[in-house]
Structure 1
Amino acid sequence: MGKISLEYLDKIILYLPRIPLALVIIAAGWLTGKGWNKFYMKISKNSRIDPLARKYIGRFVYIAVFALSIIIALSVLGLNISPFIAGIGAGGLIIGFGVRETVADFSSGMMIFMYRPFKIGDYVKIGGVEGEIVAISPVNIELKGKDNKKILVPNRSAWGQIIYNFTREGKNIVTLQLAISEHVHDINEILKSFLENKGIDFKCFLTGVSVSGVNYTIYLEVPKEKIFATEEIIKNIWSALKDRNINATITFQS
């Protein structure tokens, strides 16, 4: 018993002088990580990087620096860190297998942050859902649907789908197909007289002529606050044409 106590005492005496240095290394790692996080957030404030992406990049580097300082501190104490690192690797594999979908969401989120196919406030269609983007996180995208319902789309699903972004410079681009029985020379003036009063810019192009009639494609630049009134706008266009005895078929193109 006395021999075992002496062995522990010898180890304490051996490690005791190293403890302050190990604590200093851990503290330095913590301060360095924190300092980097603040510095990075400051210098990237006016960059084009998404604010959420900046936050997570800074946080990731902080955690990595702090974890590295702990490993170095354990090494300074004279502890064998090889089993510790191996355990982290094995644990990482087990955890990674269990949360592989979350990892896929996170990696897809990084691609979204890098390429920025959309931003908060844009009106988009992703797969079979559409709505205004209200939040983007590392694992999912939150949309507000036409009925104000909350829609969560996993990042892995969004990145693997065709994404329609209807927003440009604060306006949503709505595409309409207009079919009428005969060519109308003043179609632009008719649309202009109605849409200008609504504060909606537009472009109208002749896209086809056949024995059954004439086809036009209309691009509406609808302000974001009016996007949910798109159906009403289409009905009003149809009524404006009907008032001029123009029979038209209007279809919404997504």
Structure 2
Amino acid sequence: MAMETVTQYAVQYGMQAIVAVGIFSVGILLARWAGNLAQQWLEGQTLEPPVRMLLVRVIKIVVLLFTAVIALDALGVPIAPLVAGIGVAGVGIGLALQGVLSNVMAGLSIIFTKPYKVGEHISLLDVHGDVVMIDIFSTTLMHPDHSRVVVPNRKIVGEILHNFGTIRQLHLTVEVSYKTDLNQALALVQDILSSHAHVLKEPAPVIGVSRLGHPAITIAVEPWAKVVHYGSLQGELSKTIVERFRSAQIEFPAPPVAPTSA
């Protein structure tokens, strides 16, 4: 009896199952072909890599869903109740994944509006670093101490963001005594900056007297450098300035003597 039932179902639905499997197999091949075709076309467009990847995946999923519906219809499955069930399930999943979906929408907003790009230095939400990756869910920053900061995209959209771009300005100061020939000191600083390979010629460095204090004159040294050289350049320039000033016998002010108690 059981064997007859199995045979009956095999005869009744076997051909439908074969057709459905065939349709879905063709759909997989079509999805792969459509994805490759879209990838080749999008590579010629001015789009960020995450956008290209997302669009290719969406095209593949749409083709697979379309062929899956056709395959189920060929198998004899009622399509209307299935679509309604998927819609209800989609609402529930959407409510459960609000945080994830908000990250996705924020990621798309970042990718299309481009408030920053990979390789630029940004500061926001009390963190800063070089942008090393932008994907659909988060943005990854490389901190100056070489640690990684992963920021959810929904935390970025709508916040105040400081984008330094690919260059940063250093803010150095050096104090000299009032006996110093300021023209000589400024010329030395200009020579140091112009001879250093990592100091940018454009924008031009800013050099000048920034403060007349006691007991010293403060000289501001503010050159520009690429983001990758910013950290090391501060120490290199400070060391070179001290050495060159000593060689030129430019005096540094003596530190104030603390009063002694009687």
Distance 1:187 1:50, change over 3 A: farther
Gaps of 5+ in 1: 248-254
Q: 1:115 to 1:217 in 2, by over 3 A?
A: farther
Distance in structure 2 (CA, Å) of the matches to 1:205 and 1:226: 18
Deviates more, 1:18-27 or 1:62-71: 18-27
Q: Secondary structure at the match of 2:149?
A: strand
* Whole-Å separation in 2 of the counterparts to 1:48 and 1:219: 35
Identity, in percent, stands at 19
Q: Is the 8 A contact 2:172 2:222 kept in 1?
A: no
What aligned pairs does 1:152-231 form with structure 2 within 5 A after superposition? 152-168=150-166, 172-174=167-169, 176=171, 191-199=189-197, 200-201=199-200, 202-203=203-204, 220-229=223-232, 231=234
The structure having more radius of gyration, on CA atoms, is: 2
Q: CA deviation at 1:110?
A: 1.1
Three-state SS of the structure 1 residue aligned to 2:130 is: strand
**1:16 offset after TM fit, Å?**
3.4
Aligned to 1:78: 76
Q: CA RMSD in A?
A: 4.0
The Cα shift of 1:151 comes to 0.8
Map Cα deviations across residues 146-187 of structure 1 (whole Å, 9 max, x no partner).
11112110011122222222224xxx132649899xxx8899
- With the length of structure 2 as denominator, give the TM-score of the two structures: 0.71
Q: Which moved more, 1:53-62 or 1:227-236?
A: 227-236
Select between 68-77 and 236-245 the one with higher mean Cα deviation.
236-245
Which residue identity does 2:15 align to in structure 1? Answer: P
How far is 1:68 from its partner?
1.8
- Higher relative strand content: 1
CA distance in structure 1 between the partners assigned to 2:91 and 2:43 by the alignment = 36
**Amino acid corresponding to residue 203 of structure 1 in structure 2:** A
Count of residues in Structure 1 that have an aligned counterpart in Structure 2: 239
1:238 is displaced (CA, Å) by 7.9
Whole-Å Cα distance in 2 between the matches of residues 19 and 35 of structure 1? 24
Could you state the TM-score of these two structures normalised by the residue count of structure 1? 0.73
Deviation at 1:67, TM superposition (A): 1.7
